[in-house]
Amino acid sequence: MEFTAVQIATLLNGKILGNPEAVVQALAKIEEGELGTLSFLSNPKYEAFIYNTKSSICIVNDSFEPTKDLPSTLTLIKVADAYASFAKLLAIYDNMNRREAIIEDPCFIHKTAVIGDNVYIGAFAYIGENVQIGSNAQIHPNVVIEENSKVGNNTTLYASVNVYKNCQIGDGCIIHAGTVIGSDGFGFAPDQDGVYSKIPQIGNVVIEDDVEIGSNCSIDRATMGSTFIRKGVKIDNLCQIAHNVDIDRHTAMAAQVGIAGSAKIGKHVQIGGQTGIAGHLSIADHTKIVAQSGIPSTVKKADTLMGTPAIPINEFKRAHFGFRKLPTLIKTIFDLENKVKALENKKNNP
């Protein structure tokens, strides 16, 4: 697909500086741009690249003023927010590459399943009894959706996603390859001999609208009731969400986060990669947790936390500074001990 600078500026409500008929066919990072590509510049530390880029069009902030001569082949489009505008174009580009609405063969669709309009279902997909799939959904190859589950409008499930029975996925969600929704929670009860018996997990998972979940994640069904992933939540690859967890709206977490059972995560929480969160606790809205932290107890007030167990980040930095000096402090203590012993020996043996 080709787009002119005029078309792009119209989409973004931007102002053109240069050739309004400049044409692009692809997107590229500014430092890797080639003739016919579209780039963007929002962070001033990358400004040097714009003076050498080979891109045909570059989206920049209204505030950008070049300090050197720009390439003669480059057209600028000035917008209020270059990063947000480029993200909008990426979304449009991605939407243009959606699969054509078709049901590929072979796949299994139960006769009681209800399929909306304009749906793509890939080969070897399994759609179980009483499943509901909304309009414009994209169900990629090898996806399994078990009985009584629901997938909303405009939702995409990539290859080999597994949705267990009775689970609900809202509108506009994206779930990447290999993720499992509704597997059994880790529930076992030891008897007097220490032998574990399985506790049946009879709840489900409820995923609200506009959620994105990365590849190879596990979202466990509740023991009873529901595990909730609320509206707008973003979950990176390789995350584990245990049974009865409730993640509130617009919270985001990076890869390899693990959240234990029945934890309640607030709104707009940001969780760094490889963080572990204990069960049966709550985390306040707007809390930020630095990567590789451990959260063993409830966080009542929003703060930026770091370490294991996590503490406010400024406290952690001071403690870490002291820890780095520990070898010197230990040597100083040993030296003082030796001096004290020498003085005691001199006193006892004049």
Positions marked active-site: 243
* Residue matched to tokens 């809390």: 287
Element holding 305 (H helix, E strand): strand 304-306
* DSSP secondary structure, 46-101, as one string: GGGGGGT---SEEEEETT---SSPPPTT-EEEEES-HHHHHHHHHHHHHHHTPPPS
Determine the Cα–Cα distance for residues 218 and 240; give it in Å rounded to an integer.
5
Element holding 348 (H helix, E strand): helix 326-348
Per the structure block, which two tokens stand in for 82?
């270059």
Spell out the residues 6+ positions from residue 30 whose beta carbon is closer than 8 angstroms to its own: 39, 40, 41, 46, 49, 50, 53, 55, 58
Spell out the residues 6+ positions from residue 21 whose beta carbon is closer than 8 angstroms to its own: 4, 5, 6
Q: Compute how many other C-beta atoms are within 10 angstroms of the C-beta atom of residue 131.
A: 22
